[in-house]
A = this chain, B = another copy of it.
Amino acid sequence: MKPISRQTVDEVLQRLDIVDIGRTTIRQCVNVSHELEWISGEKFVHLEFGIPGMNACKVGLDAQKEALDNGAASVYPPSCGIHELKENGSRFIKAFVGVEISPEGIVPTVGSMQGCYNLLLECIQMNPEKDTVVYLNPGFPSHYVQAKVLGIKTRMFDLYDFRGDKFREKLEEVFRDGCVSAIVYSNPNNPSWVCLTEDELKSLGELCTKYDVIALEDMAYMCMDFRKDLSMPFLPPFQPTVARYTDNCVLMISASKIFSYAGERIAMVAISDKLYKREYLALRERYGIGRFGDNFSLTYLYVNSSSCSHSAQYAFAEMLGSAADGKYDFVGQMREYGRRAGKAKEIFLRHGFYIVYDKDLGEDVSDGFFFTIGYDGLTGSQLLLNLLRCGICAITLVATRSTREGIRVCVSLLNSEKDFSDLDERLGSFERLMMDENR
């Protein structure tokens, strides 16, 4: 396609009340691209959404429809989750993460979004002197907004600047004053796809124990570090986790990506056995219930939404069970994202781009759901503006609290060969545009 004029883009931004494209939400970016699609008459290449690009897992669909036929729709689900989900969730974690978490600690949530939201709130309320949450950047944009909505103090640093031994030192620095209640991160990391190693997680776990910090580990993309084969249930290697090194942890596992089940808003938190039973005086005084795990489901989740879709709980239970039984190979399905990432990276690099977060300690970062792209001499905002002119939509790294300049690329919607050839052709336009402007 022919590049859209700078003026047209500026007019659209003005009309949509956007001052800096680099600081918009994903939703606003999408609105800009929709306007430009309409004006140019060309469909954009969409790299902004972190949404599944595959069909929902059929095992889940069948179970959900059966649950609807069996009367699940008229009955409130228990706020701690249905029995089957608790059992299979525990078994799935044993199979793919290699740690033991009792069924009691498995509680379904309306996506990990709701899990994280309520865990943050509980962590902040259970210990009056611990009023701060730490984020490992870059990260999932909405996690930062959660802290803003809940009025929680935050600390953060860019993980990329503190890998290996430096990670432990930096963590100790931010934990030392005793104000930190919890730390939030996703592994693999959204958007950089950097993966914390078992060594780094060991440091984190030990320091969480030492400073009484709860690790909230978002496993949205679990087992998608395709450099290792994490697909065999109950066999190593397992998905790395902090849960091997501390009891102060909660895992968040969503069906959205691993089972392409984002629409039904179903996930689970897995609270370590020891944390589940831990008694907090401040919670007992406030709610008449003292234990961490009981409060999570009976207080926080209950008044937030009275649990989540009953039929989707049956779907999730069945998918987790089927994966643990080795009948449904979710890792094999997800490898498709790795293939798409490899192909997309090759195209970007060929057109003069570079990978922003390129290394994972010594190795190249793995090919997965996301990667990060920069272009010499352009800020993230400038890069995004020019990509929009060429029919490509994405979000900048600013929204992910990165200190680096560039954009986040999600490969999930690169479904067909045509998507890749469109990407190639448009990055060609971009390259010519850059040459013209620098002439």
Measured CB to CB, the residues of A under 8 A from B are: 23, 25, 27, 49, 51-52, 54-56, 60-61, 64-65, 68-69, 71-77, 79, 109-111, 113-114, 117, 121, 142, 145-146, 148-149, 256, 260-265, 286-288, 298-300, 302-312, 315
Q: By the criterion CB–CB under 8 Å, are B310 and A73 in contact?
A: no
- With both chains docked as a complex, state the minimum distance between the C-beta of A282 and any C-beta of chain B, in angstroms: 12
Q: By the criterion CB–CB under 8 Å, are B111 and A306 in contact?
A: yes
Kindly state the separation between the CA atoms of A332 and B191 in the bound complex, as whole angstroms: 52
**A79: nearest chain-B partner, CB-CB:** B27
Q: Given B61, B69, B309, which contacts A312 in the complex, CB threshold below 8 Å?
A: B309
Q: By the criterion CB–CB under 8 Å, are A61 and B73 in contact?
A: yes
- With both chains docked as a complex, state the minimum distance between the C-beta of A16 and any C-beta of chain B, in angstroms: 12
Q: By the criterion CB–CB under 8 Å, are B286 and A148 in contact?
A: yes
Q: By the criterion CB–CB under 8 Å, are A111 and B305 in contact?
A: yes
Kindly state the separation between the CA atoms of A64 and B310 in the bound complex, as whole angstroms: 13
Q: By the criterion CB–CB under 8 Å, are A310 and B265 in contact?
A: yes
Q: By the criterion CB–CB under 8 Å, are B304 and A117 in contact?
A: yes
**Which of A51, A109, A261, A264 has most B Cβ within 10 Å?**
A264
Q: What are the residues of chain B within 8 A of A111 when measuring CB–CB?
A: 305-306
Q: By the criterion CB–CB under 8 Å, are A27 and B309 in contact?
A: no
24 contacts between A and B (CB under 8 A): A27-B298, A51-B75, A61-B68, A61-B69, A64-B68, A65-B68, A72-B263, A72-B264, A73-B264, A75-B263, A76-B256, A77-B263, A110-B110, A110-B306, A113-B303, A114-B305, A117-B303, A117-B305, A148-B287, A263-B311, A264-B311, A265-B305, A265-B306, A311-B311
Q: What are the residues of chain B within 8 A of A114 when measuring CB–CB?
A: 110, 304-305
